């Protein structure tokens, strides 16, 4: 049995009722930024493999979002990359001049981005008002026509244009980003 039960692709946000606050915050953010999006609701997905069915329905490639830190936990990074690529700490660390890069603790992710494992998304940066998290984007992401992510929860997935990611979402998040080669 798959993660999708009704295979319906919706345009725009759902009714606010029955949705948690941070999910509604994501939809509010996208609407305020003028981003049109498609949405699929589904069973919880925690891994990239579980997302495959959802991404296929939306016509998207798989995307990984990794929350990382340096060894001392003084610098944090959100890496957005293609799902089929392998993450190499050495390759990314060299490009951003940070040694000993590793996965950050979930407690730090919750504190800084209001996210839990399995729901990591670029939209979590809306909660990082002090810009403690540096956004890293695999340069190949910008070559895709569309971008997909969770709206702060792993029971829905959304799709919008990569142009809107660059021209509306990233500026509205007020976080500079660094392009990296993964």
Q: 75-103: per-residue pLDDT in tens?
A: 999 999 998 899 999 999 999 998 789 99
Residue 2's pLDDT is 73
Residue 92 lies in a domain: yes
φ, ψ at 35 (rounded to 5°): -100, 125
Asked if residue 45 belongs to a domain, the reply is: yes
Which stretches of the chain score pLDDT less than 50?
A: 1
Q: By residue range, what is the domain housing residue 74?
A: 10-180
Instruction: Read off the pTM.
Output: 0.93
Phi-psi region at 3: left, alpha or beta (left = phi > 0; alpha = psi -120 to 50): alpha
Both tokens assigned to 169: 């979402």
Contact 113, 128 (CB under 8 A): yes
pLDDT at res. 6: 79
Q: Is 177 helix (H, G, I), strand (E, B) or coil?
A: strand
Q: What pLDDT does 124 receive? A: 98
Q: Is residue 2 part of a domain?
A: no
For residue 129, is it within any domain? yes
pLDDT for 62 equals: 78
Inside any domain, residue 3: no
Q: How many domains does the chain have?
A: 1
pLDDT of residue 172: 97
Q: Is residue 35 one of the residues assigned to a domain?
A: yes
Residue 55 lies in a domain: yes
Rounded to an integer, what distance in angstroms lies between the CA atom of residue 119 and that of residue 63? 12
| CATH assignment at residue 157 | 3.90.960.10
- Whether residue 43 lies inside any domain: the answer is yes
């Amino acid at each position: 049995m798959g993660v999708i039960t009704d295979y319906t692709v919706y345009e725009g946000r759902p009714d606010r009722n029955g949705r948690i606050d941070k999910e509604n915050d994501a939809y509010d953010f996208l609407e305020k930024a003028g981003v049109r999006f498609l949405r699929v609701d589904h069973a919880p997905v925690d891994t990239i493999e579980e997302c495959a069915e959802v991404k296929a329905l939306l016509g998207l490639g798989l995307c990984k979002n990794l929350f990382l830190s340096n060894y001392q936990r003084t610098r944090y990074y959100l890496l957005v990359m293609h799902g089929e690529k392998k993450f190499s700490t050495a390759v990314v660390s060299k490009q951003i001049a940070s040694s000993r890069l590793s996965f950050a603790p979930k407690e730090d992710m919750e504190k800084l981005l209001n996210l839990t494992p399995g729901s990591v998304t670029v939209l979590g940066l809306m909660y990082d008002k002090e810009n403690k998290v540096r956004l890293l984007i695999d340069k190949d992401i910008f070559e895709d026509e569309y971008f997909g992510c969770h709206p702060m929860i792993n029971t829905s997935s959304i799709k919008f244009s990569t142009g809107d990611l660059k021209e509306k979402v990233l500026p509205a998040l007020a976080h500079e980003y660094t392009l990296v080669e993964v």
